Structure 1
Amino acid sequence: MVVDQIRAATQDLLAALTPDQLKQISAPFDTPDHQTWTYLPGAVPGLALTDLSAAQEALVVRLLELVYSKRGLADFRAVMAAEIIVRGLGDPMEVAETGGWAGSTVGDRYYLRVLGDPAGTEPWAWRLNGHHLALHVTLVDGAISFTPQFFGSNPAEVLSGPHAGRRFLVAEQDLGFQLLHALEPAQLEVALVSPEAPDDILTRHDPVADASLLHRGLAYGDMNEDQRQLLSLLIGQYVGRAAGPIGLQTWQDITEQGVERLTFAWAGETQPGLGHRHYYSIAGPTFLAEYDNTQDNANHIHSVWRDLRNDWATDLLAAHYAMHR
């Protein structure tokens, strides 16, 4: 069972750390900053990836492989590759895409933390936070919460140098434009909620995502089959980063809550290109995704997946505490 594998992998990692590293990585599950997170650069609580040995790093990669799909792990490494390129730190192939955080500069912007005791029976969590990357995994009574989850990239496309032309988080943008361009004029009037894109995702890094901030846009139920397929593919770019069982549970939740209630909203420019600021959101009763490419002359991506019911395992924890009260 994947939960047992995640538990064992986390225990193996903790057992391989020095006392000082254990102090940095560990926190109580009910720590006051449990739901504090950011995708901005700067130090956050936890153990920096750059402080891992090669053997310890391999244990972290094992943990990531249990939670991410292969594509999700590739996206994870791509975020770091973009960071290496924009900061001029060397060849991303030698660091982010093959592991290689140990002793590297890129690792100083990413921090791993374990909250609670993975060897016990109470809820616990682990998280990896850093610039343009935030993964939060909470485990409660054999179930998993995978959100909030944030991926970003600066640049969205490398404009010069040996990596010129390389793009990051490509499908999140391209599928969004494909869906927008597949809409009929009357549908476009509903989906296009503003000629101006916001400067950032609207829910930012708030502990609780406020869906009321969003325009609702065009409903899935008002789309034709081809358009629905494109929207499903776009949602899959977010959900598909998770390992199979986690992603399947999300699709089940979306279906049970009414897939026809999902909405697609667009703001900003309607054609891709440098300087063309654009944004979209996908929202339903429980599922929320936001994407923007507005900063740095529209060459800087932010994207987030939230669960309006179960971020931070809110529903799972409520059931747990009710059962054990």
Structure 2
Amino acid sequence: MTRGLFVLTMLLMAGSSGLRAHEWHSSEQMARAARALLDTLGPEQREVAQFAFEAEERTRWSNLPILMVPPSGLLLKDMNDAQRAATQALLRASLSSQGYAKFVGVMRLEVLLHEAARARFQGEPTGPQQAFIATRDPNKYAVAIFGEPGSEHWGWQFSGHHGAANFTVHEGRVGFTPTFLGSSPRRVETGPFAGSMALPHKADRGLELMQALSQEQQSTAQVSEDLPDGIFEGPGRKASLEAYEGLQASELNADQRRLLRALIEEYVRNADFDAADAQLVAIEAAGWDQLWFSWRGPIAADGRFYYRVHGPRLLIEYNLVDENHDHSIVRDPSNDYGADWLGQHYEEHHPSQEEIRAGVQERMGIGGQN
């Protein structure tokens, strides 16, 4: 069945079932789920969870634990089960099955990190140690809603340790960048889920493409044998990249292009189908040949490495921090936070290392100690 025939069939099915065609669009699903969540909140909770669309909190997020950078919005720990269930429904309305599974998988890893933190501090933990243990908690993720769901433009944000998604809706169109996902442990080592992974293919897709390149292509793609310090394009560092680097996609053969597409869809297809399809169309309109693939570190499955896919409408970064800890991010350089749709430029807000350190000391109750 061709794509056009498939879409026509879906439209006819929607009409015959009494469901208006636009009601299964991602933006409609998200708006209904967001309104349902807000309806469950009390006045004080709603004041914490909902912001004006123009609020600077919309571009203030972090992948760091809550002890280091408290997120904006209402924490899951401050919700009842019905409200947490409504939050999960909003996540499902905004993400594909693969995207939702990744976010929930990353959140569940916090349980393992909590157990590891408790084991690390034997006996009676001190106050600061207790504060550290308490940050390893799947309830320490926050929801923030910007504007009124279903209005001309609105958005929402989900953020916490190793998981952050930013959704923007404008006139029915949905943007989902920037989105950050990381995992620690990358591979569970013990227990009934030993060997399981929350983000199983992010490293593999990049390594598959790199290993499929000829020696000459690898030499061009590998811009450095040294690894970067974290994710180059994390929050607060959006303007740090201006030039493309590595191997241009125009130099790839058909099989290599297929691997590049698989890598890209590993990130873009985390969004629900409307938003993902629209982003792929934008990438294609800008030109697949305008994408660049670069690599840092050794070309080996058992070593640390970093890769990047960069073009006018796409920026992907993956960093294997260590063998059991990874970070990744996907952006749209032209339309993060819906900037292109809204005709605005957004500055991201992220605390400096000094501000993070001071905040940690305050929350751990250790004053100005170094």
Q: TM range, normalised to the smaller chain?
A: 0.7 to 0.9
Equivalent residue for 1:57, pick from 79, 84, 105: 84
**In structure 2, what is the equivalent of residue 258 of structure 1?**
287
Equivalent residue for 2:164, pick from 123, 134, 155: 134
**In structure 2, what is the equivalent of residue 298 of structure 1?**
323
The answer to whether the Cα contact below 8 Å between 2:152 and 2:172 also exists between their aligned partners in 1 is no
SS where residue 93 of structure 2 aligns?
Answer: helix
The answer to whether the Cα contact below 8 Å between 2:180 and 2:330 also exists between their aligned partners in 1 is yes
**In structure 2, what is the equivalent of residue 322 of structure 1?**
none
Q: Are 1:24 and 2:78 matched, yes or no?
A: no
1:115-157: CA deviation from partner (whole Å, max 9, x where unpaired): 11225x4421111010111111111122111111000001112
Equivalent residue for 1:220, pick from 249, 258, 266: 249
TM-score w.r.t. length of structure 2: 0.77
**In structure 2, what is the equivalent of residue 101 of structure 1?**
none
**In structure 2, what is the equivalent of residue 35 of structure 1?**
59
The answer to whether the Cα contact below 8 Å between 1:209 and 1:306 also exists between their aligned partners in 2 is no
Q: Identify which range, 196-205 or 131-140, moves more after superposition.
A: 196-205
Q: Distance in 2 between matches of 1:204 and 1:32?
A: 17
The answer to whether the Cα contact below 8 Å between 2:141 and 2:158 also exists between their aligned partners in 1 is yes
Equivalent residue for 1:12, pick from 36, 47, 55: 36
SS where residue 238 of structure 2 aligns?
Answer: coil
Aligned AA (1:145): G
**In structure 2, what is the equivalent of residue 191 of structure 1?**
221
**In structure 1, what is the equivalent of residue 120 of structure 2?**
none
Equivalent residue for 1:108, pick from 134, 139, 143: 139
**In structure 1, what is the equivalent of residue 154 of structure 2?**
124
Q: CA deviation at 1:56?
A: 1.7
SS where residue 283 of structure 1 aligns?
Answer: strand
Give the total of aligned pairs: 300
Computed over aligned residues only, the root mean square deviation of the Cα atoms, in angstroms, reads 2.0
The answer to whether the Cα contact below 8 Å between 1:143 and 1:316 also exists between their aligned partners in 2 is no
The answer to whether the Cα contact below 8 Å between 1:37 and 1:207 also exists between their aligned partners in 2 is no
1:236-269: CA deviation from partner (whole Å, max 9, x where unpaired): 1100101111110011001000101111101012
Equivalent residue for 1:317, pick from 342, 346, 349: 342
Q: Distance in 1 between matches of 2:34 and 2:237?
A: 25
Q: Distance in 2 between matches of 1:82 and 1:75?
A: 11
Unaligned stretches of 5+ in structure 2?
A: 1-21, 118-135, 345-370
Aligned AA (1:277): R
Q: Are 1:147 and 2:172 matched, yes or no?
A: no
Q: Distance in 2 between matches of 1:8 and 1:66?
A: 9
Q: Distance in 2 between matches of 1:199 and 1:298?
A: 16
Aligned AA (2:112): I
Equivalent residue for 1:282, pick from 306, 309, 318: 309
Identity %: 34
Q: CA deviation at 1:223?
A: 0.6
Q: 1:107 to 1:156 in 2, by over 3 A?
A: closer
SS where residue 108 of structure 1 aligns?
Answer: coil
SS where residue 59 of structure 2 aligns?
Answer: coil
**In structure 2, what is the equivalent of residue 87 of structure 1?**
114
Equivalent residue for 1:205, pick from 235, 246, 249: 235
Aligned AA (2:256): Q
Unaligned stretches of 5+ in structure 1?
A: 91-104, 320-325
The answer to whether the Cα contact below 8 Å between 2:244 and 2:311 also exists between their aligned partners in 1 is no
Equivalent residue for 1:47, pick from 63, 67, 74: 74
Larger radius of gyration: 2
